[in-house]
Amino acid sequence: MRKLRDISFRLAVFTQNGLGVLEAAEEALGRNSVAQLVLNQGIFYDDELREFVWVGGSRSYLGMKKKSQSALYELAEYLRVLDVVVVDDIEPYRWLKLAVNAAINTLTAILRVPNGFLVKTVELADIVRKVAREVSEVAGKLGIDLPSDPAAEVFRVAEKTAGNISSTLADIRKCRKTEVDFINGAIVELGRKLLIPTPYNELLYSLVKSLELVCGSV
């Protein structure tokens, strides 16, 4: 982030999953200079084809925290092929995506399956709902109202991106450090601070961190 301070720009837009990056950018660059793109597209790298594969997606959201700039609309126009729309407050959409990632990324990484497996398996439905509910409860305590039911959004995204390999699963396959600290880990940390139990997110977080440790050794 320190390097960005020396670059002249109107607006820096971040696309990372989870929490933490936008907050760090705001601290380093100021809230008026950063925005978030919540990108709802399923894309993974196919090792055999040696190319990126798009498997589907839906509307994506671009915005700042209760602020706006004309540059956002200019960027959205460039990205119209991805159905990107500008919103007045990015937080509800960022947290909705957080709920989706908290369920899809961890479960697919643990089970080593594409996203679509989650909509085919009745046994996972209850876990998905409880993971999503914990995210919603933490968000609600922070005064953030999600724009739609988070569990329903998880299933919708899993179906829309059925053939996708989540970024967490891709990292586990390559023995790379995952984003789980910024997804489920962030939910657990905030839950503790707010005195909200998040046992399902904590379990999934611990399992993925364990996979990071044992990767390549078995």
CATH number at residue 180: 1.10.1040.10
pLDDT band at residue 49 under the 50/70/90 scheme: confident
Among candidate residues 3, 65, 66, 97, the one labeled active-site is 97
- Average pLDDT on 92-120 reads 95
Mean pLDDT of 80-98: 94
Q: What pLDDT is recorded for position 169?
A: 95
**Which pLDDT score is estimated for 25?**
87
Q: Name every residue whose Cβ is closer than 8 Å to that of residue 110 and which is 6 or more positions away in sequence.
A: 204, 207, 208, 211
| The model scores a pTM over 0.75 | yes
Q: Can you give the pLDDT at residue 216? A: 66
Domain count for the chain: 1
Q: How confident is the model at residue 30 (pLDDT cuts 50, 70, 90)?
A: confident
Least confident piece of the model among 21-25, 187-191, 208-212: 21-25
The reply to whether 97 belongs to the active site is yes
pLDDT of 47: 78
What is the span of the domain harbouring residue 20?
Answer: 2-214
Which one has a higher pLDDT value, 10 or 188? Answer: 188
The stretch 104-131 carries a mean pLDDT of 94
Check residue 3 and give its pLDDT.
61
According to the model, what pLDDT value does residue 10 have?
74
More confident residue, 119 or 58: 119
